[in-house]
A and B are shown apart, each in its own frame.
Chain A
Amino acid sequence: QVQLVEFGGGVVQPGRSLRLSCATSGFSFYTYPMHWVRQSPGKGLEWVAGTSYDGSKKYYTDSVKGRFTVSGDSFKKTLFLQMNSLRAEDTAVYYCARGRNFHDSSGPDYWGQGTLVTVSS
């Protein structure tokens, strides 16, 4: 069955970098869009970044453009989120999610369990 497992969260100082990984299984990587969605403590869901089904297009929310980069490794079937110049407001649980079909606009269906990123000095 489809499984998504996030790794790499932790406590990091403001201005530093962190890379999140999302190990996938149960489906062919680069045949579905992929998403990163975050949730700050006590707040709602916020879409952060995504890729097209084949990884050729990358999309970002305005607040992370120029700081975050989404990428994938089809051999390892893993999605990454490189986060640079981290800010306190980036503190959140980060979820990896798979798009429901090959359309970029289909939205996530399967979700990982999330990994917590805390940006604090």
Chain B
Amino acid sequence: QSVLTQPPSASGTPGQRVSISCSGSSSNIGTNIVNWYQQLPGTAPKLLIYSSNQRPSGVPDRFSGSKSGTSASLAISGLQSEDEADYYCAAWDDSLNGYVFGPGTKVTVL
């Protein structure tokens, strides 16, 4: 049972906008930065968003992140077939004294 909560799945047609929520608490998202990771099938995770809303070099601006209080969200605009992947939110947890991942959200492009 993860301390971060995400919906198990999300879907959209090409070109649509998809949003994924991540709910936590004051000991993790409420206090620390949130990262988002993309994991394509059969590959290692890749940092997609850091510090809640920053994109690493090379990540398309179709991906955006936000944070408010103890919740965060990832938005994918202009959905493309190559965006089919699992997406994980993550943050440091001060109570657990460790890093925590959400359970992941599988994005399907219809």
Contacts and interface: CB of A to CB of B under 8 A. Distances in A.
8 contacts: A44-B86, A45-B88, A47-B101, A59-B97, A59-B98, A100-B50, A107-B92, A108-B35
A47 B86 CA distance: 16
A37 B88 CA distance: 13
A46 B101 CA distance: 6
Contacts, number: 67
B65 interface: no
A44 B88 contact: yes
A13 B25 CA distance: 38
A72 interface: no
Q: For this complex, into which size category does the number of interface residues on chain B fall?
A: 20 to 34
State the main secondary structure of chain A at its contact with B: strand
Contacts of B39: 45
Contact of A45 (B47, B96, B98, B104): B104
Given A46-B101, A110-B47, 18 more contacts: A35-B99, A44-B2, A45-B88, A45-B101, A47-B100, A47-B101, A61-B98, A62-B96, A100-B35, A100-B50, A104-B92, A105-B32, A105-B99, A106-B50, A107-B35, A107-B91, A109-B47, A109-B50
B23 to A, nearest CB: 16
B33 A107 contact: yes
Contacts of A47: 90, 98-101
B30 interface: no
Given A45-B88, A112-B44, A107 B99 contact: yes
